[in-house]
Structure formats: C-alpha cells, structure tokens
Structure 1
Amino acid sequence: MSEWRLSEGATPAEVQAFASLEAVFATQGREITRDPLSEVILCELDGQRYYIKRYLGAGKGLRRFIGRPRVKAEWQNLKHFIKWGVPTAPVVGFGLERKGWAFSRGALITRELPATEDMAQLAQRNAPCLRDGAWVATVSAQLADATRTLHEHNFAHNDLKWRNLLVNDAKELFLIDCPAGSFWWGPFLRYRIIKDLACLDKVAKYHLTRTQRLRFYLQYCGHDKLDARDKKYLWRIINFFEGRE
C-alpha cells in the first residue's frame, strides 16, 4: 500500500517531478546526511532548491508494525506548525509505503528556506550576530513566541536544539526537523517542556548573557519578573543536563 500526497500549493514543475513516491526515490541530488534509517538530499528544480528526506526504515523490531513511523510524525508535526502559525519550511510532498502491515519506505519534501543558517552553525563559528544585542533580542522574541505556542498546544518538540533553528538575513526564525515531537499531558508534558527549554539553554549559556537568557524565559512565560514558581522552573531547566554533558 502506497500513500503519496503533494501540498495544495505545489507548482506544475513540482507536480511533474514529484508525482509519486517512486519518482521521489529515483530523484538524484547532493547527499546532506545519512544514517541507518534515513537520508537527506538537496536537489534543484527550476531555480528552486528542495530538501528530500527519505526514510528506509521505521525503526527496529515492533516499530516497523506498531506506532507512527518517523516520516509520518515529521510531516504531521510540520503541518501542525503551519496550522499554529509557527514558521517552518514549506512542505511540498509527503507519503509512505507499507508491505502488508510493515513500514517499507517514506519521504518528505520541503522547499529550501533561502539565505538561512542554523543557529548551531552560528554558535560554532562564533558569528558576530550573537554579540549583537538587537539581533539577539529580535530572534529571541520570535523563539519565545514559537516555543510557547507549541507548549500551549500540549506539544513538545523533543529535539529543540540550535541546529533545528534557522535564521535568515531578515532575522526571521524558522523551526525545522521535528520527527520526535508529540503531544503530552500532565507531568509528562511538564517534563518535556523543561527538556525543550533545557535543550535551548544548553548552547545559549555559552554564547548569550544571563540577562539575555532571562529575558527569553520571561518572554516565553509572559511575565515581567520572576515569581517563586519561575525560580523553581529555572533551577530545573538549568540543571536538567547536569552530569550528562
């Protein structure tokens, strides 16, 4: 059984080039990443570049038969982002194929966001923008809004690292790559929220000032100043990875 869909806004060129899952797996491009379960290639069509993520497995053991395959989770999560107004990469096509009850393969295509760089790369090369207070304030406010939106929908990204945050020349922020994101409730949601915030702070503490990090948290929670609950929360965030780094 094969399921393949193109987004409503797909161009005629995209409809022709990515007409089926077979066509997507036959597409050639520059390899970006590869692991035992998936590969990402970059290809170009009529001057527009695309990232094609192709999954060759759903996971080990029962994951092939039970639960949501990672490729399906990823495209559903990006569609949630779009619905909630969280900026992300435009989705062009998505789908999967099963043999019997077992996952066989799947793919997700997104349009490239032009003139963007992920924040992990900015940190790695110690980019001057990270020392520009106005730049940090603009991007931090967008990140606080996006993160709060996810959490207000009982959703945790679960891999909210700087490498999954893209920023363009206009200082616009985009969230990408979310195959592990899911909905949670109660104490499980609170734990995942703390993990999301701790993942962000894991790099921020080396490149941003304490004032900038505090401002992000206040913007995220919508407070003018810290209360007793905030201080307890911050302690858990700051110490989340203690002994694991």
Structure 2
Amino acid sequence: MKRWWLNPDYANGEAERLFGTLDATFATKGEQVAKSPVSRVLRVTADGKRYYVKRYLGNGKNAVRRWFGLRGLVAPQRVVKEWKNLLLFRKWGIPTATLVGYGLERKYGSFVRGALITEEIPNTTDLERLATASDPCLRDRRWMAQVLRQVANITRTLHAAGFAHNDLKWRNLLVDGGGSPTVYLIDCPSGGMWWGVFLKYRIIKDLACLDKVAKYQLSRSQRLRFYLDYTGQRRSRPFVVFVL
C-alpha cells in the first residue's frame, strides 16, 4: 500500500514530474547533503527553486532499535512524525519550511519506505553554522536580541502546547539575512506531545540543547534575557534573603 500527497501549489510543473509520486521521488537524482543509517537527504533543483528530499528506507540495521522487526508494524515512523510536526508548526504560527510532498509505502502492514520534500527557505543559514564561522552577526547585540526573542517565542509556543522538540539545537534553527531577521524551525522527526513529569523532563532537555552552544556564544545577560522572554517575564525576580 502506498500513500502520497503532493502540495497542489506545486502541480503542473517540473516539481510534479520529480515528486508527483513516491516512486518518482525515490528515482529523483540530486546532491546528497546528509545521511544516517535510515535516511538520506538530497538537494534537488527544479523550476528555478531548490528542494530538500528526505528519503527513509527501512528501520535501521540495529535489531534492538528495530524491535526485532516489530517497529515497522507498530511504532510511529520517523517520516510520519516529521511531516506531522511540520504541519503542527504551521498550525501554531511557527515559521518553518513549506511541505511539497510526503508519503510512505507499507507491505503486509510493515513500513518499507517513505519520503518528504520541503522547499528550501532562501537566504537562510542555521545558527550553528554562524557560530562555527564566528559570524559578525552574533556580535551584533540588536540583531541577536531579535533572533533570541523569536527563539524564545518558538520554544514557549511548543512547550505551552505540551510539545517537546527533542533535538532543539542551533543547527535546526534557520535565520535569514537583513536587519530584521526571521527564525525558522526545521527538522523535527523525534518531537512529540508529552504530559506531566515526562513533559517537564523533555522541556529541560530542549532548553539544555539550546544552551549547549549558547553558553559559549552569548553573554550571561543575553542568556538571562532569553530565559525571561521564554517565561514571559519582563525582569528577573529579586532574591529575598532571610537573616536568622
């Protein structure tokens, strides 16, 4: 059984020829930009635009991670979670990549392969790449304040909905150029809804992921300002000292 959806905005063009079906998507050639044991990401140019094609094949080579064959039958597939999460981001008003197409194939009820295609967000770079290159933008406090405020709002929106990204790293945050930057959240195959103590743990993990790079790139005041924006506070609360 094959399921496939193509964004109507990309019909009647070269994109439809390349991504109109699951078979066509897997036959499309392009520049490989990333790979893992279960997926490959290609960059493809069509109709004067660039697209990222993420193709999942099987459930990995590790028998334990595959649950000895049961994962393909009962576990939610990463490709499904990824396209559903991108749709959730759109619903919540979080800037993200446009979905062009997505779908999967099952055989005897078990996952065989799947794919999703997103259009490239032009003139963007991920924050981790900027940090690695010591980009001057990171030293521009006004520019960085706009970026951090948006990252705080995105993170707060996710967590307020009971959602944890589970890989909220600087590399998954794109920012475009210009004096008024926009931050985009991408690449979320492991995010999901949580509750209670499980949600609290995942929230801490998300914030810790962000701070892995932030603690080397930002000042203490910038990190505090981010946390205040995330919690919705205008200023830090003073500590009250009791003398016994």
Matched residue, 2:22 = 21
| 1:193 equivalent among 183, 203, 223 | 203
Matched residue, 2:55 = 54
Could you tell me which runs of 5 or more consecutive residues in structure 2 were left unpaired when the two chains were aligned. Answer: 61-65, 240-244
Q: Does 1:182 align with 2:192?
A: yes
SS of 1:158 mapped into structure 2? coil
Q: Which amino acid aligns with 1:145?
A: N
| 2:155 equivalent among 123, 127, 147 | 147
Q: Distance in 2 between matches of 1:54 and 1:126?
A: 32
Matched residue, 2:236 = 226
Q: Distance in 2 between matches of 1:45 and 1:117?
A: 21
Following superposition, the deviation at residue 74 of structure 1 comes to 0.2
Range 53-62 or range 169-178, more displaced: 53-62
With over 3 angstroms needed to count, the CA separation of the structure-2 counterparts of 1:153 and 1:228, relative to structure 1, is farther
Matched residue, 1:126 = 134
Structure 1 residues 38-73: Cα deviation after superposition (integer angstroms, max 9, x where no partner) = 000000001100000000023423211112100000
Query: Which of structures 1 and 2 has the bigger CA Rg?
Result: 2
Q: Distance in 1 between matches of 2:228 and 2:12?
A: 45
TM-score (norm 2): 0.91
Matched residue, 1:5 = 5
Structure 1 residues 152-175: Cα deviation after superposition (integer angstroms, max 9, x where no partner) = 110000000001010111311100
Matched residue, 1:86 = 94
Q: Percent identity, please.
A: 55
Runs ≥4 in structure 1, deviation > 6 angstroms? none
SS of 1:123 mapped into structure 2? helix
Matched residue, 1:206 = 216
1:108-127 maps to which residues of 2 (within 5 A)?
108-127=116-135
CA RMSD, Structure 1 to Structure 2 (Å): 1.4
**Alpha-carbon contact 2:31-2:44 (below 8 Å) kept:** yes
Q: Distance in 2 between matches of 1:5 and 1:227?
A: 50
**Alpha-carbon contact 1:58-1:70 (below 8 Å) kept:** no
With over 3 angstroms needed to count, the CA separation of the structure-2 counterparts of 1:93 and 1:228, relative to structure 1, is farther
Structure 1 residues 92-115: Cα deviation after superposition (integer angstroms, max 9, x where no partner) = 000000011210000000000111
Q: Distance in 1 between matches of 2:71 and 2:174?
A: 30
Following superposition, the deviation at residue 76 of structure 1 comes to 0.3
Could you tell me which runs of 5 or more consecutive residues in structure 1 were left unpaired when the two chains were aligned. Answer: 230-245
Matched residue, 1:31 = 32
Following superposition, the deviation at residue 145 of structure 1 comes to 0.8
TM-score (norm 1): 0.90
Number of residue pairs matched? 229
